Amino acid sequence: MRKKIYRVISLVIFVLFSGCNHSVGVMPCDSHTIHVMATTSMLGDLLKAIGGERVVVDVLIRGEADPHSYELVKGDDERLDSADLLVCTGLNLEHGASLQAKIAAHAHTVNIGAYFLREYRDLLLWEDGQIDPHVWMDVSLWTHCIEPMVEALCSIDPEGVELYRERGECLKTTMQAHHAMLKERIQAIPSEKRYLVTSHDAFGYFARGYLATSEEVESGTWKQRFCAPEGLSPDGQLSVMHLRFIIDHLAKYKITTVFPELNVSRDSLRKIIHACRDQHVVVRFSTEPLYGDCMGVQGSLGDTYLGMMEHNILVLIREWSVL
């Protein structure tokens, strides 16, 4: 079953991207190559797709590093200073003091969060008075960040305007189709199984976009589909009260599997599993982690933005299908 799902998704992606490459074409490198710094891989992957060979994209926060707490290390200043364009998520995701200062000082910065606040404020989520920055966890929402990226590239590289706009439109089409496919796959899982507990609050947009029913989204009750022991930034302490809340949530919705995230400590989830065992409730870890704040290693299914979203959907489908 799992192999069949992989083959179907891989075929759809191949067709979508083949269509894009045929319609847009590739512009050869020249002396006007634009150097772009993206703070995260989820931004960098889209910039590569939009820019083609006219753009060289560098990703600042690589691997399993936490974007919430990232501070500049040796060499980062030079990388940032040499970039023609700096693209950040904003919404207080990159809240390390040294990185925030560098973002504010850069001559050409695109703050995706500021764009969302201006154009799509009603689609953003709030948690305890803070904006949830994990917008990329809903592909249909993340599609909106293509426009400010395209416009920024066009403004600093007028010769590439046609290329950037064509590739941007093609990427939008690909992502919208991918979103619909992922949603259809996960919605095929029975509603009573689609309840998610992860390491930290990175999956709110994901729960609203993929796990909830349309009626739950309309009424606002979709939030019951997801909870986590840690907040929007995975650096908080698990209180006794919050531990009790998570255990009650697991019991209420008969949740028997919790999902760790690749770059987040499992300590809080271990405490939850241990506490459940004390109450003779069996809860286990999923066999594979999910991707929240980072993508997968090179060569894995999750080494692209759309690939990380596929990985998450496929892990959930497999785990929930065996319950």
> Domain residue spans in the chain?
2-179, 190-321
What pLDDT, on a 0 to 100 scale, did the predictor assign at position 20? 57
Q: Which residues lie closer than 8 Å to 81 by C-beta, 6 or more apart?
A: none
Q: Both tokens of residue 106? A: 């850069």
Taking phi over 0 as left and psi of -120 to 50 as alpha, with beta for the rest, 7 belongs to alpha
Digit-coded pLDDT (tens) for 200-249: 999 999 999 999 999 999 999 999 999 998 887 776 667 788 889 999 99
DSSP state for residue 87 in the 8-state scheme: E
Residue 94 backbone phi and psi in degrees, to 5? -85, 75
pLDDT for 280 equals 83
**Dist. CA 126–CA 143, nearest whole Å:** 20
- pLDDT tens digits, 26-83: 333 445 689 999 999 999 999 999 999 999 999 999 999 999 999 999 999 999 999 9
Give the pair of three-digit tokens for residue 203.
């999956």
Architecture of the domain spanning 190-321: 3-Layer(aba) Sandwich (3.40)
Give the residue among 23, 26, 49 at the shortest CA–CA distance from 36: 49
- Which of 150, 142, 173, 153 is CA-nearest to residue 22? 173
Q: What is the pLDDT of residues 137-187, one digit of tens each?
A: 999 999 999 999 999 999 999 999 999 999 999 999 999 999 999 999 999
Burial class (CB in 10 A: 0-12, 13-18, 19+), 43: buried
d(CA 293, CA 67): 7
Same fold, 2-179 and 190-321: yes
Fold of 2-179: Rossmann fold (3.40.50)
- Span of 21-25, 231-235, 272-276 with lowest mean pLDDT: 21-25
Amino acid letter at 124?
A: L
Is the dihedral angle over the CA atoms 266, 268, 100, 50 positive or is it negative? positive
What are the φ and ψ backbone dihedral angles of 178, each rounded to 5 degrees? -65, -40
Distances (CA, A) of 102 to 9, 32, 72, 114, 263: 39, 25, 9, 17, 24
List, for residues 76-135, the tens digit of each pLDDT value.
999 999 999 999 999 999 999 999 999 999 999 999 999 999 999 999 999 888 999 999
**What phi and psi, each to the nearest 5 degrees, are found at residue 224?**
-65, -15
Query: In this predicted structure, what is the pLDDT of residue 230?
Result: 85
Q: Closest by alpha carbon to 175, among 123, 138, 211, 139?
A: 139
